[in-house]
Chain A
Amino acid sequence: GENVEQHPSTLSVQEGDSAVIKCTYSDSASNYFPWYKQELGKGPQLIIDIRSNVGEKKDQRIAVTLNKTAKHFSLHITETQPEDSAVYFCAASTGGFKTIFGAGTRLFVKA
């Protein structure tokens, strides 16, 4: 079945620096790749997603890149702020009903 690996598990950056989280997936049929942010005590919230027909998508300070050949995709957060501190999950879906999540990255942004 589909497997999604996510690295690093923990990431600490200084406020204003960039943060990059990387994921790889196993099922070449995957065509939808969402990223979720989970704050303490809350449910995951979709922050950005990308479909397989594009290689990059940007929304203000966050961007996602996709390399279908290598089966990996990445989340980039620029000019990090303390409120970016949270757990970030990548996920992959083949377009069916099952979305498979990575294990998560705990991001700390130090003021």
Chain B
Amino acid sequence: NAGVMQNPRHLVRRRGQEARLRCSPMKGHSHVYWYRQLPEEGLKFMVYLQKENIIDESGMPKERFSAEFPKEGPSILRIQQVVRGDSAAYFCASSPRGNSGANVLTFGAGSRLTVL
């Protein structure tokens, strides 16, 4: 039973380029969360998605960032026109349920974005 799969593990982009990070949730999980971790800091909530729906994106910057979780395929976190401040580890987590009961999150290994 594979866990939460994220790719790429490491991504290097130049300023102005686009970054796409992918996340496949655990088998049986239909809820996906994206968190950002800056160096030496904690995990900051970005967005929560269910299949084909963004439920809450209150932690996502208003510009350049978008997320989707299509009916088929992985969830995608997309960062357009990257800047050096976007350099961070981006973690995806999944859970078997959303609004009812406590959400036990299972995290992936993360995607580390470096913007040159």
Contact = CB atoms under 8 A, between A and B. Distances in A.
Interface of A: 6, 31-32, 34, 36, 41-46, 49, 51, 89, 93, 95-104
A92 B31 CA distance: 18
Nearest to A49: B104
B116 interface: no
B98 interface: yes
Contacts of A46: 104-106
Contacts of A44: 43, 91, 107
A51 B45 CA distance: 21
Contacts of B42: 6, 89, 101-104
Contacts of B108: 43
B18 interface: no
Contacts of A45: 107
Nearest to A95: B102
Nearest to A31: B102
A109 B67 CA distance: 39
A89 B43 CA distance: 9
Given A34-B105, A96-B99, A97-B98, A43 B110 contact: yes
B45 A100 contact: yes
B33 interface: yes
B43 A97 contact: no
A59 to B, nearest CB: 15
A41 B109 CA distance: 8
B41 A103 contact: yes
B55 A43 contact: no
Interface in B1-28: 4, 6
Contacts of B56: 97-98
Contact of A97 (B6, B44, B103, B110): B103
Task: List 7 A-B pairs, minimum CB-CB distance, nearest first.
Answer: A32-B102, A43-B107, A103-B42, A101-B43, A43-B109, A101-B42, A97-B48
B85 interface: no
Which of B6, B55, B98, B103 counts the most A-chain CB atoms under 10 A from its CB? B103
